Amino acid sequence: MLGLILRWVLSALVLLAVTYVVPGFRVANLSSALVAVVVIGFLNMTLGLLLKAVTFPFAILTLGLIFLVINAVILLLASKISPGFQIASFGAAFIGAAVLAIFHLILDAIL
C-alpha cells in the first residue's frame, strides 16, 4: 500500500516537472497533479488498454510509435476531465507523452 502511494505522489511530481520542460503543459498545483495522475491512470487502464490492443498490429509496423500517439490522446482526454490540468495542443501532448515516458523509465529504474 505504501508503495502505491509513493508511486502516486512521485508520478504527480513527475507531471509537475513536465510542466517546466514542455511548453503547453499547465498544472495548477500539486493537488491538481494528484487528481490528474488518477484520471490518467484510469483512462490508461480502460480506454488506453483497449486502443493499444486494437492497434497492436499497427504498432509492430510503426515500431511502437503509435503507443506515443495513444498516450498523447489519453493525456488530452485527461486534461479535459481534470481541473487544474491543461494541455494547449496535440503537439504539446505528444511531446509531453514522450517526456513522461522518459521520466517514468528513470523512475522505474530507481524504484
**pLDDT tens track for 34-53:** 999 999 999 999 999 999 99
pTM of the full structure = 0.91
Q: How far apart are CA 27 and CA 37, in angstroms?
A: 11
Q: For residue 2, what pLDDT is reported?
A: 85
Provide the grid cell at 78.
485527461
Q: What is the pLDDT of residue 107?
A: 86
User: Whole-angstrom Cα distance, residue 87 to residue 110?
Assistant: 28
Q: What is the DSSP string of 14-47?
A: HHHHHHHHSTTEEE-SHHHHHHHHHHHHHHIIII
Read off the amino acid at residue 93: A
Rounded to 10 degrees, the C-alpha dihedral 71/76/78/80 comes to -170
Question: What confidence tens digit (pLDDT) does each residue in 59-98 have?
Answer: 888 888 999 999 999 999 999 999 999 999 999 999 999 9
**Listed residue (27, 29, 14) closest to 106, CA to CA:** 14
How confident is the model at residue 90, as a pLDDT?
Answer: 96
